[in-house]
Each structure stands twice: as C-alpha cells, then as structure tokens.
Structure 1
Amino acid sequence: MIYEITSDGLLTLLGNQNMTFDETKEFCASIPGHRMAMTKKKTQIEVLKDLQKRAGGAEIWVDLVKSDVGLPIWGDGTPYNDTEASQVAKAFDEEGVLTVFRFVNQHFHDRIKSILCLPLCQANPLDNDEW
C-alpha cells in the first residue's frame, strides 16, 4: 500500500489489493475525508503515472464513468474533455457499451465494473485548489 502526500498536494492512498469499481468507491468513502480519485489535472496524471509505475504497472481505478450519452465524465459530473487530463491522457472507448474507466498504460480505458484493479483514493489534507 502507498499512502502519502503526493506532488499534487493531495493525500493519496493506492491500495495493494484488487477490487471492483463499486468496492473501490465504498472503500474510499469508508476512510474519513477520502473519495475515489479524480485525476483531472496534469499534475495528477503525473502522480497517477508514478503510482502505476511503483505498483509494477498494475491497472488502477479512477472515478471516471460514461455519461448517459456515452461520453466520459468524472464522478462529480465534470466532463472529461473539459479537464487538463484530456490533454495528456487519452480516454479509450474501445469496448463501446462498458461504463467505467481504469488507468492502464498511461491512459484511461473503459471496463465493466466487476473487473479487479487497484483502488486509488484521495483526500485533501490542506485547503488547496487541487481538490
């Protein structure tokens, strides 16, 4: 498990046991002040790349889902294409009808919720604008 304040200023927890998407959301919400990771900024994508490298290239869940019209949106409703992340990490929609995304090979790829990936949670230890 990796649990540290990362270069984006957020307290980040990368679990070491694979979970489904829904299990990851529940796990992160069960830790006071934490949520499932939304890596919307370029600095957060760099953190995500580093964490994935340190985890041996493991697939990592992020709170990125498909909207009703099939476009990726973050868990808070922000369209993926309206964030800095879209400039540095492509969201691949290869599977068509699948509903959630995980980070693999430095990009976001869609999957079904039951696939097992590492959970990634965030908390804001300070009052900063990264949250």
Structure 2
Amino acid sequence: MIYENRSDGLLTLLGKQTMTFNETKKFCASIPGHRMAMTKKKTQIEVLKNLQNRAGGAEIWVDLVKSDVGLAIWGDRTPYEDTEASQVATTFGEEGVLTAFRFKEQHFHDRAKSIPFLPLCQANPLDSDEW
C-alpha cells in the first residue's frame, strides 16, 4: 500500500489489491476517518496521476458515478462539471449505462462496478475546506 500525506493536505491510501467499486467503498469506510477518494480539485488530479504512475499505470477507482440521467456525479452528489477536475481531466463513457468511473490514462473512464481496480481512499487529518 502507498499511504501518504499529499500536497492537497489529505492523506491518501492506495491499495495494492484490486477490488470492485462497492468493495472499495466498504474498504475505505472501514478505516476510521477515511472515505473513497473524490478528486475534485486540480491538485488532487495531479496527486492521482502521481499515484497511478507509482502503481505502474494501474487503473484506480474514484468515487465518481453516473447518475440515473447519465451525468457524472461525485460521491457527495456534486456534479463533475461543477468541479476543477473537469477542467483538467475528461470523462469517457457510454450513454445510458449506470456505471462508476476509474482513473485510466489521466482521464476518468466508466466501467461496470463489478470489475476490480485498485482502491483509493482519502482522510482529512485537519479541519479543512478540502474535505
């Protein structure tokens, strides 16, 4: 596992064993103070790119899903298009398919939640507006 305090002020935990989307959510929630990663800011996309490079280019789950109307939304229901991430990383997906997104080749690509990828968790060690 890679566990670090990153430049965005959040602790990140990148697992070494692949998990499905739902397993990743449960895994992150099982660690006190952690959640599945939501990389909404430009600095967090840079952190994600760095972690992916360090993991040999492996694909990484993030808490980004398609809503029932096909829009990408973060786990806290924030629309993807309303975040800084949309300015530096695009989303790729199929119309009308309810799926989740993983980070692949410096962009977010949709995939069925049942396919395993590396889990990424976040924790906020301090009170911060980043959380």
| TM-score after normalising by structure 2 | 0.97
- 2:23 match: secondary structure: helix
Equivalents in 1 of 2:47, 2:19: separation in Å?
A: 20
How many residues are aligned here?
Answer: 131
Structure-1 residue corresponding to 2:81: 81
Structure-2 residue corresponding to 1:26: 26
The reply to whether residue 15 of structure 1 matches residue 15 of structure 2 is yes
Mapping of 1:47-66 within 5 angstroms? 47-66=47-66
Equivalents in 2 of 1:73, 1:105: separation in Å?
A: 20
Equivalents in 2 of 1:95, 1:70: separation in Å?
A: 7
Q: Which runs of structure 1 show a deviation greater than 6 angstroms over 4 or more consecutive aligned residues?
A: none
Identical pairs, percent: 84
Structure 1 stretch displaced more, 95-104 or 76-85: 95-104
Aligned residues of 1:2 and 1:15 also touching (Cα < 8 A): yes
In the alignment, structure 2 segments of 5+ residues that lack a partner are: none
Mapping of 1:1-131 within 5 angstroms? 1-94=1-94, 96-131=96-131
Cα deviation for residue 95 of structure 1 reads 6.6
Cα deviation for residue 57 of structure 1 reads 0.2
- 1:49 match: secondary structure: helix
Provide the aligned C-alpha RMSD in A: 0.9
**Cα distance change, pair 14–95 in 1 and its aligned pair in 2 (3 A):** farther
| TM-score after normalising by structure 1 | 0.97
Per-residue CA deviations over 1:30-50 (Å, capped at 9, x if unaligned) read 000000000000000000000
- 1:47 match: secondary structure: helix
Cα deviation for residue 96 of structure 1 reads 4.7
